[in-house]
Structure 1
Amino acid sequence: MKFELKYAAAVFLGAVSYGILSTIVVKAYGEGYRLGEVVGSQLLVGFVLSWLLAMYKQSKAKRKARGVHEAADRAGSDAGNAGKRAGLTWKQRLVLMSAGVPTALTGLLYYQSLRYVPNSLAIILLFQFTWMGVLIHAIRLRQRPSNVMLATLAVLFVGTLLAAGVLDQSSGHVDALGIAFGLLAAVSYSLFVLFSGKAVPSADPAFRSAWMITGGMIVVFILFPPAFLWNGLIWGHLLLFGLLLGMFGAFIPPVLFASGVPHIGEGMATILGASELPVAVMLSAVVLHEQVSALQWGGVVLVLLGVAIPELVKRLPARHERSRHRA
């Protein structure tokens, strides 16, 4: 149980890191920085940190292989396996870089939505990836969603209406363009979740992450040429924002998720990952001084409940069975 809590804490902290991002982006916009500069600096920092981690792990594996003479055969086998995981073909690298494109597009669309709608609404729109992922999965398998999933989607829909302030007269006018960008970000994130798990799963997680970030960074730099690298802008406050966004968005969460998810399962990881939502909304109210009504907080709670329902329903029979055996 102790170790499970450790891995659960890793996933929770990874989600909290994601929840911090939107507040940092709004602050960067307040300093006058533009979309391409914000996303570009974030991915550049993530690119450097991810490759440093990958190279460190590769160097550590080689040192381990050279260090233990008594178990030379076993150590050599371990090093060989590590080399196979790291030694990807160019076809595999291209697949991983392609899988990283949706996450870059998600950042662009999500951060663009923050220019038009409040931070607390933008994160709610992004969280629509929950039901979009279910819809994509159902279409791909040509299967009707289960009754539990349909009930979950209903709870998510009602929660979203409340959290977005649609039923709250005090929430004011909402920009349609911002809503469109937020929903497109959710679509992009749904595709990222779909493709990332299937892209070269046998590769070492550190190298998978590094190549995916590389692909996303290349796409962003094509769409928004990184003039900040040679016009001196990177040496101002943009470097600080890039470091914060790169650490909390492109480096820490993937490392923590890769460490925790295999040990606690995807269902529980989804529940813990939803902690991104209240963190983002709370920071909107405390740091950005956005007005978040009690009705909107109720919507946040409903969205979190909707995310948790499938896993809770799945665990109830197992808990009932254990209780019956004890009796």
Structure 2
Amino acid sequence: MKYLLSVLIGAISYGVLSTIVVLAYGEGYQLGEVVGTQLLTGCILAWLLALYTKVRERRKESNNKVQSAGSSKVSPKLVWKQRLLLMLAGTPTAITGLLYYQSLRYIPASLAIILLFQFTWMSVLIQAVSKRQRPNGIMIFTLVLLFGGTILAAGIIEQGGTEYQMIGIVLGLLAAVSYTLFIQVSGKAVPSIHPAYRSAWMITGGLILVFVLFPPHFLINGLLWGQLLLFGFLLGLFGAFIPPVLFAIGVPHIGESMSGILGAAELPVAVMLSSLVLHEHVSALQWVGVALVLFGIMFPEIYKLKWRKTGRITS
């Protein structure tokens, strides 16, 4: 259960981002500044956690040596090949943010969310292909619930026949692909290493990529010391720090398919915050969609619990 909660809380953290980004854009900040400060603060937080973990491990190792010489278990050390692999695995985090935030310039947020949430079936498809097995009926039914709920919650049905720019649609779909890749690689990249170290190196890789694409002029022009610092800290905390750490903890234990389903918790959180913080109108049909998504998230585990209880009774 704790691994399920880890992934769920990580997904909920992602749901906070859209509201913060809208507020940041409202203050006139640009894409590179928003994503750059997000990953910079997230990287600092991640390395502080890694340092804290390192100190704790050394103290524990020292105590073990005192109690029984030679019996202490030494954690595996990272080599540079593994560090580079983790940095490469972290680039989808940055790419997802860049593609998704940029798509909002061309298409409505409701459509962008729908496109991003195509990662649900993409995750299951990749899992099915890689393991050469067909998704079971419960998984298919869950995906149908998530897809239908996503359509309703995003309000796409009520928008009518609005025409959208193709570049925005392409960017939204590419964001979904990138997010799917992040879910897949977050659990497979050097899983033997402590999640704190893995997350720190993964976020570092994303930060380097963003700084190459968007040179961090905000570090020297004084812009960082305004409201950008607050927005960057919040985005870094909820977007670049908490989710990677919790995903690194939970994904290896529950699998990529279930992680993709739990990741859908981002949508209802985003809708709720849009209503409460941004005071956007959310119709009754959209709330029905939110309820469907929440049920779709909980359904597989409810089914498993019921099946286990039935099995115990009949055994």
Q: TM-score range by the shorter chain?
A: 0.7 to 0.9
| Per-residue deviation, residues 217-257 of structure 1 (Å, max 9, x unmatched) | 11111111111112221112111111111111111233345
Gaps of 5+ in 1: none
Whether the 8 Å contact between 2:91 and 2:209 is mirrored in structure 1 is yes
Matches of 1:110 and 1:8, distance apart in 2:
26
Residue 20 of structure 2 corresponds to residue 24 of structure 1: yes
Give the secondary-structure state (helix, strand or coil) at the position aligned to 2:72.
helix
In the alignment, is the contact (CA less than 8 A) between 1:165 and 1:171 conserved in 2?
no
Which letter does structure 2 place at the counterpart of 1:98?
A: L
Q: Which residue of 2 aligns with 1:197?
A: 187
RMSD: 2.9
Q: Distance in 2 between matches of 1:63 and 1:317?
A: 44
2:107–2:165 contact (8 Å) kept in structure 1: yes
- Conserved? CA contact 1:23–1:119, under 8 Å: no
2:220 to 230, 240, 258: 230
Change (3 A) 1:258 1:20: same
Cα distance in 2 between the residues matched to 1:290 and 1:221: 33
Work out whether 1:140 is the aligned partner of 2:135: no
Deviating more after overlay: 89-98 vs 249-258: 249-258
**Secondary structure of 2:275's match?**
helix
Q: Does residue 323 of the first structure (1) align with residue 293 of the second (2)?
A: no
Q: CA deviation at 1:135?
A: 1.7
What corresponds to 2:94 in structure 1? 104
In the alignment, does 2:206 pair up with 1:216? yes
1:304 aligns with 2:300: no
2:119 corresponds to 1:123: no
Q: SS in structure 2 opposite 1:289?
A: coil
Query: Equivalent residue of 2:309, what SS?
Result: helix
Matched residue type, 2:41:
V
Per mean C-alpha deviation after superposition, the further-off stretch among 55-64 and 147-156 is 147-156
Aligned length, in residue pairs: 315
SS state of the match for residue 65, structure 1?
Answer: helix
Q: Per-residue CA shift, 1:62-116, capped at 9, x if unaligned? A: 2333456740526x724xx23x2xx211111111111111111111112222334
Matched, 1:89 2:79: yes
Q: TM-score, normalised by structure 1?
A: 0.84
Amino acid at match of 1:301: A
Q: Deviations over 1:128-151 (max 9, x none)?
A: 211111122233344443333333
Which residue is 1:77 aligned to?
A: 72
Report if aligned partners of 2:114, 2:151 keep a CA contact under 8 Å in 1.
no
The aligned amino acid for 2:72 is S
- CA drift at 1:127: 2.0
Deviation at 1:295, TM superposition (A): 1.6
Equivalent position amino acid for 1:41 in 2 = T
Letter in 2 for 1:253: P
Report the alpha carbon displacement of residue 38 of structure 1 after superposing the two structures with TM.
0.6
CA distance in 1, matches of 2:298, 2:247: 18
Q: What letter corresponds to residue 20 of structure 2 in structure 1? A: I
Q: Secondary structure at the match of 1:43?
A: helix
% identical equivalent positions: 64
CA contact (8 A) 1:42 1:242 kept: yes
What's the CA shift for 1:260? 5.9
The residue identity in structure 2 corresponding to 1:209 is S
Q: CA deviation at 1:310?
A: 3.9
SS at match of 1:168: helix
- Which residue is equivalent to 2:44? 48
Q: Is the 8 A contact 2:262 2:297 kept in 1?
A: no
Provide the C-alpha distance between the structure 1 equivalents of 2:313 and 2:110, rounded to a whole number of angstroms. 41
Secondary structure of the 1:221 match is helix
> Residues 152 and 309 of structure 1 are in contact (CA less than 8 Å); yes or no, is this contact kept in structure 2?
yes
For residues 206 and 145 of structure 1, the distance between their equivalents in structure 2, rounded to whole angstroms, comes to 32
Task: Give the Cα separation in 2 of the matches to 1:264 and 1:138.
Answer: 15
